[in-house]
Amino acid sequence: MDDSNTPEINKRLRRPTSCIQSPFVQSFQSQPGCPSIDLPPLFEYKMFVDPPDSSHIRKFDKWYHIGLHTGNKLQKFHKDHLEIRPTMELGPVKIQSKMWWFTLNQVATPLNTMHIDAMFYYLRLNMKVNSSSGLNATSTDCYFDFMVRSIYDKSKKVINANDKQKALISYLTGELIPFNSNWGEVEHVLILIFMDKKAHWILGHLDVANWHMDVYNSSFKTIRDNSVLDAVEPLRNVIPHLLRSSKVLKFEPPEVPLYCRLCKDIPHQTNVLVYSIKLLISFNYT
């Protein structure tokens, strides 16, 4: 990277912040009418995001601030420094403009599918190749959720089998996305869920062996449980159907909607993904 004409950065001492704390906690609350349940956390967040090396972060910050117009509401970067050359590649995600990063750093702006897919690409990579993590898990990507919702008719409570079902089954067999695993060979599946009416992402954790899904909503103070349950309804119905059709599990999933629990008392964090992607890129684009 060319560091010429780069403004001097703040030399303050950098310490690990609370955003590397695990968003997966031990205290869970079941659906209305069900008792509270205590479970161990899925994994510690810091297992795949350790405190960053300050030299990497400084180098990344220098590069990002070249051409940045902090007071211009219309033109965020000078035109000569807007385009990224060569293209920054984060697994399947290709970034050609610094605006990708600018959008990522706006707290009130929803993360788009490219942000989410980049983060979960590296998460799957870590779980696949890092044996020390102790994680036997995989994840979906953003398109999985979109396809699930497209084949489920909420009004009729029916699943419309079509060509998309074949693609969805390819997720379950571990074939469709990079560093995926067969769902029958893992203990956990992390499922990305988009609440389109709220422009908000939530996370589903499918516990394969115990056959239930925990849902984590970082905005539980402002988004009601009924809205979350409405967003996960297609997944609760379609996932058991797909698993029965694909026969990837060692047991036959029951022909009822997947039991879902809404997890309470989780940290209200606004920049976990921002921090994580920034860290990962600092190691891949230096």
CATH of the domain at 231: 3.30.310
Counted domains in the chain: 2
The whole-angstrom separation of Cα 75 and Cα 105 is 16
Each residue's pLDDT tens digit, 187-207: 999 999 998 877 788 899 999
Quick one: tokens of 174?
A: 């571990």
Quick one: tokens of 45?
A: 């967040």
Shared domain check, 255 and 275? no
Contact 54, 14 (CB under 8 A): yes
Residue 8 within any structural domain of the chain: no
Shared domain check, 257 and 196? yes
Shared domain check, 159 and 55? no
Each residue's pLDDT tens digit, 1-50: 454 444 443 444 443 333 333 333 333 333 344 333 344 443 343 444 45
Boundaries of domain holding 151: 140-263
Residue 39 within any structural domain of the chain: no
The whole-angstrom separation of Cα 284 and Cα 286 is 6
pLDDT value of residue 111: 79
Each residue's pLDDT tens digit, 226-275: 999 999 999 999 999 999 999 999 888 888 899 998 887 665 555 544 44
Residue 33 within any structural domain of the chain: no
Shared domain check, 197 and 182? yes
